[in-house]
Structure 1
Amino acid sequence: MLFSRTSLVVASLLAVTVAARPAEKRWGGWGGSWGGGASNNWWHSAPAASFGDFGKRWGLDSGSCDMAAAVQNMNLAAADPPLPSPHPGLSLFSVVVGRGTQNYTCDLSNTTAVPTPVGAVASLFDVSCVAATAKELLPALSVIALNLPVPSSDDTSSPIMQDMTGHHYFLDDTTAFFNLDTSLHQYGMGALQKANASDAPTTSYAGPGGQGNGAVQWLKLDVKPAAQDSFKQVYRLDTAGGVPPKMCTGSPAAFEVPYAAVYWLFK
């Protein structure tokens, strides 16, 4: 468990979400970029007194979410090969950080078996205004999220749970589902399938504490044929962790690998 002074600040960071799409003003102007020096002082400073006052403490409460600006900050070219652009006519609705696990199974009767992916589970937190005003921070958010404990859905009184935007999980091995309808808001949902996949940049974060087997691929997901869901296209970018061992040797029949990613949801 990583509840140090730094993790409390970071938990506040992840807890920020929209009260009503697309306005989330706590993520206004950003005074620097992710990296060393004075522009990175927020990381080392005292934690906010509460989740709610994080934006005011760090001077991030000016401005508003500009989704058109956020679209321009999508870094599709960083993947290898670059992912295709969003389909014409679609509009960016939200950008969220997902924190959870990539799930795998192993055939223990086969000594040469490799892990088989069986979907993922993640909690989603809105970072749309970061995408619009501080694109340099997006890859860092995945790293930060990966180094925090997975939020427990059982603790519904927790501020971070109350600020959760939604959930990501799989309906079957190939159908990724994004559910952004909660007791506090109804933003929509969508069942999508993989359309394009590219390797994450070689500099991507390998796993918690920087230790792991690598970052899962970047993806472009398209809505399943004939589906009438809200979300028509989703990108998984800025991944951290999630890659299993190359072989099943020493692994259980089913296991999870922690991961985080930034998801871009289009309607």
Structure 2
Amino acid sequence: MLCNLWVASALCAVALSAPAIPYSSAAAERPTEMKVLSEYFNMLGSKVQAGKQMAEAPTNTYTAAPTALPNVSHGLELKHVAIGRGTQNYSCSTANSTAPPAVIGALATLYNASCVASTYPDLLNILPSVALQFNLTSASQASLTPSNLAISGHHLFTNTTTPFFTLNTDAMQLGVAPCAKNNSISAPAGAVKGQNDQGFGAVPWLKLTARSGATGNLEEVYRVNTVGGNPPSTCAGMPATFEVQYAAEYWFYEKA
């Protein structure tokens, strides 16, 4: 399913060569944003010009942290790669300002990055940092700025302990997966903390396993290369509920 088993790189070049950029002159005053965007477009230009094509599967980036997440279970194969862009959601007790915020879920749109993963894995790894620099214009904007990746699904929580993914759209029917956390590691120290690097850090990397009710043979999900999403350490000055912007790569594995 990955880009129809490594579709020609020319298709990726077309998809990536004309980004829509809601960019303002004020960005020049935000050096972190300028740096990450410059890196992205320099890398993109070199890829398109070279017409690079890879024959092998994408690098498994979940092993790139100082402490690696557990490997994919035996007998599973990569089905889909997506960039998630949305919010991590928290609640606070207004009666206890020293308490840490409580996690109450997340809400994100998933954008199809399978073609990028199969052809330009190094470009894929910078996309979460790039995506975070642009505000969401809606809860489910049609494509991911600035790469023009199309929507491939959505991520939400059905309760505080069940992350849920749907990869069913008009274009593709890849299945749904209610999940449970299998393992967690801290994001690397150099991960982008938030928009313009003004935030409280990147949420952890995760390995998730599918619960009963999953379809499309989906079995495992990895959340890696996270940027932003962490709350402040205490509830001081925070409202009863609030959101923190984040982005990440999601890797979906199915039973072979």
The TM-score, its normalising length taken from structure 1, stands at 0.74
Deviations 1:89-137 (A, max 9, x none): 1110111100000000001112321100111111111112322232222
Number of the residue aligned with 1:4: none
The structural deviation recorded for 1:151 is 4.5
Number of the residue aligned with 2:57: 69
Number of the residue aligned with 2:64: 78
Number of the residue aligned with 1:198: 185
1:261 matches 2:248:
yes
1:106 matches 2:104:
no
Aligned pair count?
A: 225
1:174 matches 2:161:
yes
1:58 matches 2:48:
yes
Deviations 1:64-90 (A, max 9, x none): 8x6x612xx012333242100000111
Structure 2 residue runs without a partner (length 5+)? 17-37
Number of the residue aligned with 1:97: 83
The structural deviation recorded for 1:193 is 1.0
Letter in 1 for 2:48: W
Distance 1:189 1:246, change over 3 A: same
Q: Distance in 2 between matches of 1:116 and 1:152?
A: 25
The TM-score, its normalising length taken from structure 2, stands at 0.77
1:27 matches 2:12:
yes
- Report sequence identity in percent: 37
2:202–2:229 Cα contact (<8 Å) kept: yes
Q: Distance in 2 between matches of 1:195 and 1:136?
A: 26
Q: Distance in 2 between matches of 1:148 and 1:108?
A: 31
Distance 1:187 1:24, change over 3 A: farther
Q: Distance in 1 between matches of 2:40 and 2:245?
A: 25
1:28–1:129 Cα contact (<8 Å) kept: no
The structural deviation recorded for 1:186 is 1.3
Number of the residue aligned with 1:217: 204
Distance 1:204 1:153, change over 3 A: closer
Q: More strand per residue: 1 or 2? A: 2
Q: Distance in 1 between matches of 2:193 and 2:164?
A: 25
Q: Distance in 2 between matches of 1:112 and 1:159?
A: 39
Q: Partner of 1:244: helix, strand, or coil?
A: coil
Q: Distance in 2 between matches of 1:84 and 1:117?
A: 24
Alignment RMSD, CA only?
Answer: 3.1
Q: Distance in 2 between matches of 1:232 and 1:60?
A: 36
2:90–2:102 Cα contact (<8 Å) kept: yes
Q: Distance in 1 between matches of 2:86 and 2:40?
A: 25
Number of the residue aligned with 1:140: 126
1:233–1:265 Cα contact (<8 Å) kept: yes
Structure 1 residue runs without a partner (length 5+)? 1-17, 31-39, 46-53
Q: Partner of 1:137: helix, strand, or coil?
A: helix
Q: Partner of 2:76: helix, strand, or coil?
A: coil
